[in-house]
A = this chain, B = another copy of it.
Amino acid sequence: MTATGTVVPGRVGVVGLGLIGGSFARALHRGGTEVLAWNRTRSIYELARVETVDGELEGDAVGTCELIVLTTYPAHSVAWLEEHARLVSPDAVVIDACGVKRGPCGRCLAVAREHGFAFVGAHPMAGTQYSGFAHARADLFEGAPLVLCPPPGDPVENLALLDRVAGLLAPCGFGSVTVATPEEHDGEIAHTSQLAHVVSSAYVKSPRAASRKGFSAGSWRDLTRVASLNAPMWSELFLANADNLVDEIDLIVGHLTEYRDAIAAGDREALEALLEEGNRAKEEADR
């Protein structure tokens, strides 16, 4: 069996029905899109089949999708695509939703070129501290930033491709689309998301965390919100972006040590200067 090239316009295939895949399925279904899906755990697929998913993403059905969204962990997303590439229509576009882009984009793009379909790296900047289909929501992506990493090549051709992806994802209601190289994406994400999870996880390990009731308000809650995380998934993402993330951890440890030394020395002038620098950096980042 080979791909026929006859896609059903607008039909979307979703690989993985976790928080992200489930939210794609729910948002697209709500918007009137026909959604096929694959999920490792059969009972979750069957649950989704009741009101969100129109059919199974398997065999010939793969070739009928105009858009395929890979939402499982990076290594699995690549493996699924390698295994199913011969079924994907040359008229289709495949995107992933991995939290790192260098590795998955490079490998998926190679597979796509070999089989003649289009591939665009994608990272929807949305999520919660919860995972799984039970927490998936049709409005998870509403207003959220979407990062797209097009293949290197003709910018005009890429624009048409990005436009097509954005159009197919319109029911998700993303708030912005940012185009970046995988390298730019992975550098920024190490700071904006991965470091946040590492710092939160480290923050709650103080013995004082367990006795914080009655002594804590908004700051503690915000600093520790993402300490609750899916450890296997984040481990995979951290190791796939180790260079950038180690760089970010070294930076924040260096800065923390400056505050520490000023406080230990009772140096009020130095401490105020460090805090004022933080004010300026925050203001610049929010501009």
Chain A interface residues (CB < 8 Å from chain B): 125-127, 144-145, 147, 176, 178, 180, 185, 187-193, 195-206, 208-220, 222-229, 231-232, 234-236, 238-239, 242, 245-246, 248-253, 255-260, 263-264, 266, 268, 271-272, 274-279, 281-285
Whether A263 lies near B242 (C-beta < 8 A) is yes
Whether A227 lies near B281 (C-beta < 8 A) is yes
Whether B201 lies near A278 (C-beta < 8 A) is yes
Least CB distance, A165 to chain B, in whole angstroms: 16
Contacts of A219 in B (CB 8 A): 192-193, 196-197, 200, 225-226
The count of identical subunits is: 2
Whether A257 lies near B253 (C-beta < 8 A) is yes
Main secondary structure of the interface of A (DSSP, over half): helix
Distance, CA A226 to CA B224, complexed state (A): 13
Whether A215 lies near B228 (C-beta < 8 A) is no
- A–B pairs, 6, beta carbons within 8 Å: A145-B215, A188-B216, A202-B252, A210-B284, A219-B225, A231-B279
Whether A228 lies near B282 (C-beta < 8 A) is yes
Distance, CA A178 to CA B204, complexed state (A): 21
* Contact of A188 with B200 at beta-carbon distance under 8 Å, contacts A249-B259, A260-B249, A260-B250 already known: no
Contacts of A249 in B (CB 8 A): 256-257, 259-260, 263
Contacts of A125 in B (CB 8 A): 215-217
Least CB distance, A4 to chain B, in whole angstroms: 38
Contacts of A252 in B (CB 8 A): 199, 202-203, 205-206, 256
Give the one of A217, A264, A278 with max B CB within 10 A: A278
Distance, CA A180 to CA B225, complexed state (A): 26
